[in-house]
Structure 1
Amino acid sequence: MERFFKRKSTFEDSSSQGSHKVSSTRPRIEVNIDELEVDPAKRKSIYEYHINDRDIVRRRYLQMGPCQPKNHVFPTRVITGVNRRFNPKWFKDHSNWLEYSVSKDAAYCLCCYLFKDESSRLQAGAESFVTEGFNNWKKGPERLRAHVGNHNSVHARNVQACRDLMTQEQQLEQTEQDYRVRLTSSVKCIRFLLRQGLAFRGNDESYDSLNRGNFLETLKFLADNNEDVAKVVMRNALENHQMTSPCIQKDIANAIASETTEIIINDLGGELFGIIVDESRDISVKEQMIVFIRYVDSSGHIIERLLGSTHVRDTTSMSLKVAIENLLTRHGLSFSRIRGQGYDGASNMRGEFNGLRTLIMNENPSAFYVHCFAHQLQLALVGVAKENDDVGDFFVTFSQLCNIVCASCKRRDNLQYKQLKMLTDSISTDTIETGTYLNQEAVLQCPGDTRWGSHYGALVSIVKLFSPVIDILDEIRQDPKQRLEAFRVLKNVLCFDFVFFLHLMKDVLGITNDLSHALQKKDQNIVNAMRLVDVSKKRLQMMREDGWEALLQEVSLFCNKHAIPIPNLDEVYVVPGRPRHKVEEKTHLHRYRVERFYVVLDLQLQELNNRFNEKNIELLLCVACFDPRNSFARFDKDKLVRLAQFYPNDFSDIELELLDNQLQTYFVDVTSDPAFSKLDGIDELAQKMVETGRHLDYTLVYLLLKLSLILPVATASVERTFSAMKLIKTFLRNRMSDDLLHYCLVSYVEKDIFDQVSNEAILHRFQKMREHRGVLPCSSSYTLNLGSVPDDEDDEFSRVGSPNLHLDLPEQSDQPH
C-alpha cells in the first residue's frame, strides 16, 4: 500500500493552533516527571515535549504547585533611583499561579506556561510571564492585576484549561467502592513493604508463578484473610484494572514519599536550617548523593530529616551544588536559608577555593561549614598514626593478616572451630569467668578507612583471637601456593614490635571509642561534641604522662602467654644493616618509650589540636558560651554578641544592641530559676526555654541559640541512610531506578513521619498523578476551591500536590482586577 500512498510524516497539535508542529518520525524521549525543572526560567517550552507527554507534564506541574520560595532573600535592584525587589506578599495575593525564579530574579505564570498559545500574543505583556519573566518591581501590583485580566482574558482561559485537565470525566467499568477497596489494598501492601525495606517485584508475576514478588504475595495474603478484599482484587478484577502493575506500584511509592516529604517541609515551616550531604556508590556503581536538613522544631528539639537522594553523574563541586539547589528548589527551599553545612571532608566538598562549601558560602556567607567531627577523629587517630613508619608497617601487616585468614569460607569456619576449642579448654581449666552473655563468639574484623570505629573493633578482635589465628597461619604454611606469604605474615606477627603496637593503638583508639559512638547520635550538638573532644585530649595526655608502665606490663603478659620473645629493654639496640659506629647508641627502652610511645601520642594530640582549631574555632567557642552546665559558668555576653555578628542577615545593627541588653536579662533570669540548674547541653536549654515560654520573652537569644543548634556535628544520619540503601538496593535488585530508590529511602528512613501519613492522603495524591480508569469520590479534607467561574457556579476537585495550589478564576467583570 505504501508504494501507492505516501505516508503522512507530520501531524498538527490542535492546542498549538498551527504554530507548533511535531514530527511523527521524531524519536520520543521518555519523560521522567520526577526530574522536571522546578525553576520557571530554566524550563523548556511545554511544546518541546512529545504531544503524548504534554498532559502528563502539565498534570505533574499542577501537582507540584507554583515555584514560590517564600523564605528566599530576594535581591534588590535600583529602579528609577529607588532600591526595589520582589515582594513575597504577592505570593499570597496570587498563590494559584504566580512563580518566582531564583536564578533570573523574575516572576512567571504557571498556568500560562502550561497552556500558552498563539493568542497569548494578543494580550500585551503576556509573554513576559511565560518566556522572558517579569521583573519591573516598581509596577508589580498593577502588572500582576493586568495579567489576570477579566473573566475572558488569556490568563483566565489558561486557568480554566488547568481546571479542565484536573477534572476530566472518566468512564468506570466497576463501582467506585470496588475501586477504592482495590486501590486501598495495594496501598496497604506497598506501605508494609516500604516500611520493611523490601522489594516489590519478582522475576515472574504471572498467576501461576511461584516467584511473583513480595507485592503480589502480600496482596494475596491480604485477600486470603479478608473476604471483602478478595472479591475485587487479582483474578476478581478486570485484567486491565487490577491496580497491581509495576507502574501502579511505583506511583503509590511516589505518593507515599511525597506525602512524607510534605510533612517534613511543613514541620520545617519558614525556619532556618543546615544541610548535611554525602555521596556513596550503590550496588550498581552509581554515585548517589544524600541530602539531610537539620533544624530546630517548635518544641526546641534538634531534628535531622532526609530531604532526598539523587544520582550525580559528575561529582565535581559545581555539579553537586546544582543538584542540591534543584533538590531544595523542588521543595520550596533556598540557599539563603541555610545556616550550616556538614560534609565528610572529601576534597570536592570541603575545598577552600573550589569546594562545595565555598560555592555555597559565596552565595550565603552565613552557611558556615563544620567538618564532620567523627571523620576528623578517624583521620586524626588512624591516618596520622600511619604517617609514622613503624605504625604504618604494623597496619600493613595487620591488613595482610586479615586478608589471608579471612580469604575463604573454610578458613573462617576453621577459625570459629578453633575459637570454640580454646573456650572449651579455658572453661575446663577454670581460667576464664563464665556466665550469661560472657564468652560470646567473636569474628576477625577487617579495618576500613571509611567505617567509624572499625580499626578499634578490628584490634580488639585480633587480641581475643590471637591463638586461633596463629594456628590458622601454621596450617596455611602447609599449602605450597601460600606458604611464603603465610610464613612472612607469621614471622611479623610473632614478634614484640607487633604486639607492642597492637596494644598501643588499641588503647589509643579505645580512648576515643566513646566519642565515636556519641557523635553518631542525631541530636548531638556542637557544645557536647567539643566537650567530648576535650575529654579525649585529656585522656591522651594522661596516658602519655602515666600510661607507659601499664602498657609495658600488658604487652609483657601477652608475650609470655603466647611465647613471644621479649627484648631486654636495658640492652643497646642495634639497627639492622648499619655499622654500629655510624649509629647513635640507644637502648630498647629509649626506642620503645621515646621514639614510639611518646611520638605516637604526641602526633595524636597535635593533630587533634590542629583539626579542632581551624577557621571556625572562634564560632565554636562562641557557641560554647551557651553551655548551661555548672550554672552557666561559661556564659560570656561579649562572645555571644560576637556570635550574632557572624549572621548579618539575621541580626541587624539595632537588633545587636537589643541582643546585648536581652542577654544580660536572660542570664539573670535563667541562673535564678531552679528549672535551669540541672540542664546538660544547649539542646536541653532550648527545650526548657520552650517549655517555660522564655523563647517568647527572649526572641533574639532564642534565635541565636537555634542558629547554634543548626550547626551540624557529624554525618551519622547520612551514613545510616547509606546502610539503608544497601538493604533496599541489593545485588538482586541492582536495576532499581533512581527515583524508585529515592521513594523507598524516604519512606524507610523517615518511618516515624511515614506512620503519620494516612491512606486517604496517599489515595488522593496517587489519583491526581495521571489519568486512571477509576475515580475516587472527593473527600472534604481534600477538596480545593477553584473560585468563581464565568457562570457564577462553584466547583471543587480533589486536592493534590502542594497545599498552596489554588486555581482561582477571576470574577466576571469588564474591568481588570
Structure 2
Amino acid sequence: MDCNESGLYALLADETTDKSTKEQVTICLRFIDPHNKYEIREEFLAFQEATDGISGEALADLLLSSLREHGVDVGKMCAQGYDGASNMSGRYRGVQARVREINPDTVYVHCKEHCLNLAIVHSCKEQCVRTIMGTVQDITFALDYSSKRLLAFCEELSGDENVQEQMDQRTKLRTLCETRWTSRADALLTFLRAFPVVVRALEHLQENGDVKAGQHLHVILKWDFIIDLVVCEHILQSTVFLSTFLQNVSCDLMEAARESEVVINTLTNERNDPEVWNALFEKASDVAGQFDVIPSKPRTAGLQGHRNNIPCRISHRILEEVMHSIHMTLELTDRLLGGTVHDRFLAQYLVASSIHRITLDIKGRLFDAFAQYLTPHDQHVFNAEKRRWETKWNGADVSIIKPTMLQDTLKECNWDLYPCISTMIRVLLTMPVSTSTAERSFSSLRRIETYLHSTMGQGRLSDLPLLHIHRDQQIDINSAIEQFATDKKKRASFWILSVFSDIQCMYYTDNYGLLGFT
C-alpha cells in the first residue's frame, strides 16, 4: 500500500450513526505520496461497525484490527487525529491513549476544525448573541418550511432587484447549522442582505392574520437586534476562510497556527480601531433607517421604567459593549494556539526562513523528539547535518527567496545530503490538521445508504463508498466481471463473456438450464 511505502502515516477516525441506526466508524489515512514525495494525501480506507460499543478501548481495538486487516503497518503510524469527544481524546481511557500503549510514537492531534467550531460556540454563549441566533433560525424556518410564507417571501424578493443581486440568485434564506457554527456566517449574511424583503414579507403576512409573523416583526425591528446582527455577522465572517483553509488536505500544522494567529490579530486590531466600529455602526444605521428604527442605548438599570432611552451619539461605545461580550479572540487563542505543545513542532524552526531563530535548547530537543525516526541513530551525525543546513541558508544570497512553508522546504531538502532534516519535516507534514476527510466520507455514506438500502451488509457498505470516493480512478470492467464470475461458487454457471460495443453482457445458465444474460 502507498501508506506503507511512504514510511509514515497518520490515522484519522470519526464516528456517526447510519440510516439503520448503527454506529459506523470511518477510517482514513494521511501520508506523503511515495510517488510524488512532496504531495500530501488523505485517503478513505473503510467503514467499520462498532459492534462492541463506542468506548475508548472498543474503538481502539476496532481501528487497530481494521488497519491490520487491510495490510496497513501499525508500527509506521506517527500520529492520530480525532475530535474532542472523551472516548476519542481521553488521556487515560480514550482511543488515543489506547493506541499509544501499542505504539508510543503516535502523537494525538485534536482536530483544528473542531477547535475552531468550539471556540465560536463558547464565545457566542452571551445572551445577545443567542437571542439573534434563535430569532434568525425561527424566522428562517417559518419562511422556508411553510408554502404560504415562502410564497410571500418570494413575491417580495421578485420585486426587489437590488436584494436579488446581493443574494446571488438565492430564493430562500439559509438555515443555521446546529453543529458547524462557522457556516452560520453565511446564514447571517444572507439574512442581513435580505432584511428589507424579510420585513416586508412579515408585514404582508401580519396583515393577513399571521400572528407569528407579527411577533417576529416586533423582535427584528429593534435597534438591539439590528446592531447585534451586523456585529455578529462581521465577526463570524472573519473565521469562514480560516475554516475552509483548515479543511484543505495540503494544510500543515505550521500553516494552521500561522493563519489562526492572523485571524486572532485581525480581530484584536479591529476591536481597538474606532474606524471599524464607526463603519459597522453606519452599516447598522443604514439598515435601521429604512424602517425608522432609531439607534439607542439599552437601559442601564433593569428596573427603570419611566425614563426614555438615551439617543446614542458615540458609535463605538455601543459596539464595544456588544463586542466585549464575545470572547472570540480569547477562545481562538486558547483552543487553536494553546494547549500542550509536543517537541515535534520544533521542526518548524528547520524551515529555511526560520532557521535563524533556532536556539541551543531547541537544537538539543529536536534530536530527542525525532530520534526513533532517524537513521543512523547518532546525535553527532545529526548535529553535523544541522550545521550544514544552517550554513546553507544563513549564508544564502539575499536575492534567493527562502522557503516559508514546510512543503517548499522539503523540496529544497535533498534526501542524500540532509536525510535527518528531511525526515523531521516529513513527520511534521504527516501530522494531521483536521478530520475533514473523515467527515466527508459521511456524506458518501448518506448518499449510498438510503432508506431503501439500509439493510446492506457491512462489506458492501464499506466497498461502495470506496468506489464512490475514488471514482476518478479507472477500473478494468472485464477483469471485474471475470473475477465476479470465477470468484466463488454460484447457483448460475457463467460460461460466455462477451462485450458488444459499450455494453458488457454476461451469459449464464441457471439450475433449470434456462439461458439469460446481465
Q: Per the shorter chain, which TM-score range? A: 0.7 to 0.9
Please report how far the alpha carbon of residue 302 of structure 1 lies from its aligned counterpart in structure 2 after TM superposition: 1.0
* Other-structure match for 2:424: 704
- For the residue of structure 2 that corresponds to 1:308, the secondary structure is strand
1:489 alignment partner, SS class = helix
How much does 1:555 deviate?
1.2
Residues 478/323 of structure 1: CA separation in 2 closer, same or farther (3 Å cut): farther
Q: Deviations along 1:512-557, whole A, 9 cap, x unmatched?
A: 2111111121111111111110110111011101122222121112
Identify which of 420, 436, 440 aligns with 1:716.
Answer: 436
Shift of residue 618, structure 1, vs aligned partner: 4.5
**Cα 1:277/1:637, change in 2 over 3 Å:** farther
Return the alpha-carbon distance in structure 2 between the equivalents of residues 544 and 620 of structure 1: 34
Question: Does 2:242 match 1:515?
Answer: yes
Paired position in structure 2 for 1:746: 466
Residue aligned with 2:186, SS: helix
**Paired AA for residue 598 in structure 1:** H
Q: Look up the match of 2:200.
A: 471
Instruction: After superposition, give the CA deviation of every residue in 1:764-806 in whole Å (9 maximum; x if it has no partner).
Output: 65456313644899xxxxxxxxxxxxxxxxxxxxxxxxxxxxx
Structure 1 contact 641–656 (Cα < 8 Å) conserved: no
In the other structure, the counterpart of 1:341 is: 80
Q: For the Cα contact (< 8 Å) 1:503–1:551, is it kept in 2?
A: yes
Q: Which moved more, 1:674-683 or 1:453-462?
A: 674-683
Indicate if the aligned counterparts of 1:645 and 1:651 stay in contact, CA closer than 8 A.
no
Shift of 1:610: 1.1
Q: Which residue of 2 aligns with 1:321?
A: 60
* Contact in 2 for aligned 1:525/1:709 (Cα 8 Å): yes
Secondary structure at the residue paired with 1:277?
A: strand
CA contact (8 A) 2:80 2:109 kept: yes
Task: Report Cα offsets for 1:181-211 as digits up to 9, x if no partner.
Answer: xxxxxxxxxxxxxxxxxxxxxxxxxxxxxxx
- Residue 300 of structure 1: CA displacement? 2.4
Residue 553 of structure 1 is matched in structure 2 by 282
Residue 271, structure 1, aligned to residue 7, structure 2: yes
The farther-off stretch of 298-307 and 458-467 is 298-307
1:198 is matched with none
Residue 378 (structure 2) aligned to one of 647, 655, 658: 655
Could you say what secondary structure the match of 2:80 adopts? strand
Give the structure 2 partner of residue 735 of structure 1. 455
**Which structure is larger by alpha-carbon Rg, 1 or 2?**
1
1:316-715 maps to which residues of 2 (within 5 A)? 316-381=55-120, 383-423=121-161, 426=162, 439-451=168-180, 453-477=182-206, 483=211, 485-546=212-273, 547-567=276-296, 569=297, 573-577=299-303, 592-600=318-326, 603-619=327-343, 621-628=345-352, 630=353, 632=355, 634=357, 638-639=361-362, 642-651=365-374, 654-669=377-392, 677=401, 679-689=403-413, 694-715=414-435
1:470-514 CA-to-partner distances (Å, cap 9, x unmatched) read 23323444576x62x433332221111111111111111111211
**TM-score relative to the length of structure 1:** 0.55
* Cα contact 2:3–2:31 (8 A) shared by 1: no
Q: Which residue of 1 aligns with 2:516?
A: none
CA distance in 2, matches of 1:470, 1:278: 42
Q: Secondary structure at the match of 2:416?
A: helix
Q: Structure 1 pair 760/622, CA: closer, same or farther in 2 (3 Å)?
A: farther
Map 1:3-152 to 2 at 5 A: none
Q: Paired residues, what number?
A: 486
TM-score, normalization by structure 2: 0.84
Q: Does the 8 Å contact 1:370/1:713 carry over to 2? A: yes
Match of 2:515 in 1: none
- Please say if residues 573 and 588 of structure 1, whose CA atoms lie closer than 8 Å, have aligned partners that are also in contact: no
Counterpart Cα distance in 2 of 1:536 and 1:676: 29
Structure 1 runs not aligned, ≥5 long: 1-264, 427-431, 778-817
Deviation at 1:266, TM superposition (A): 4.1
Partner SS, residue 372 of structure 2: coil
Shift of the 738–596 alpha-carbon distance from structure 1 to 2, 3 Å rule, reads same
Q: Is the 8 A contact 1:644 1:704 kept in 2?
A: no
CA distance in 2, matches of 1:296, 1:776: 44
**Distance in 2 separating the partners of 1:683 and 1:452:** 30
Q: Contact 2:152–2:204 at 8 Å: present in 1 too?
A: no
Tell me how large the CA RMSD over aligned residues is: 3.3
- Conservation of the 8 A alpha-carbon contact between 1:374 and 1:714: yes
Partner of 1:79: none
Unaligned runs of 5+ in 2: 498-518
Aligned partners of 2:156 and 2:197 also within 8 Å: yes
- Percent identity of paired positions between Structure 1 and Structure 2: 21
Equivalent-residue separation in structure 2 for 1:686 and 1:761 (angstroms)? 40
Partner of 2:487: 769
Counterpart residue type for residue 762 of structure 1: A
C-alpha distance 285-470 of structure 1, shift in aligned 2 (>3 A): farther
Letter matched to residue 126 of structure 2: N
Q: Which amino acid counterpart does residue 666 of structure 1 have in structure 2?
A: W
